[in-house]
Amino acid sequence: MHSIRFQFIAFITALLLVLLILLNTYPMVNSRDAVFEEKRSSMTGQASTVSSTLSSLERLSPENIAEVLRYLDLSAYSRVMVTDRAGLVLYDTAGAAGETAGAEDIFTCLEGKTVFRSSFSEESFDSSVAMPLSSQGELTGAVYLTEHDGERAEIILGFQRRIRAASL
């Protein structure tokens, strides 16, 4: 009889521990995934807007690109880069114009694929999107946007701290 009681208490304790672990991880994972999806959607949409706007240019040049981008609201992005089809940077808010793009995502993009990446750390969500730039069906370059978002990371981490405090 004593061993059945001990097994029952051990089972209930194990069940409570599993529930506490799920309570502490599931909401954070879902919140983080929702932010990833929102970022993918918004950044891909913005990159598509930039790409379609630049595709109307006869020739990609740093001056033409800068003039067109001046009318688009890209202030939320920490970096905006436009390359030609060889990967040479034509426009870069980080000052790398004239150099060969070093981001692997850009070279994948120059093969005609859209690339999105996002990572979550204790400090921020760091996201990037690379989208092909084409004119009249021909690949002419790539658009690359990066974003550093510490505000949403802090919201999720605060949410996690509140759940952890409530479960203890």
For 91-111, write each residue's pLDDT tens digit: 888 876 666 666 788 888 888
Distances (CA, A) of 90 to 62, 120, 149: 5, 30, 26
Q: Quick one: pLDDT band at residue 57, thresholds 50, 70, 90?
A: confident
In the prediction, which pLDDT does 116 show? 92
Handedness of CA 51, 54, 55, 60 (dihedral sign): negative
Q: Average per-residue pLDDT in the chain? A: 82
Distance CA 130, CA 144 (A): 4
Alpha helices (runs of H) in the chain, residue ranges in sequence order: 2-54, 62-69, 104-109, 150-167
- Banded pLDDT at 66 (limits 50, 70, 90): confident
Of 78, 166, 85, 167, the C-alpha closest to 129 is: 78
**Strand arrangement of the beta sheet that strand 89-92 belongs to:** 89-92, 79-84, 138-149, 125-135, 115-120
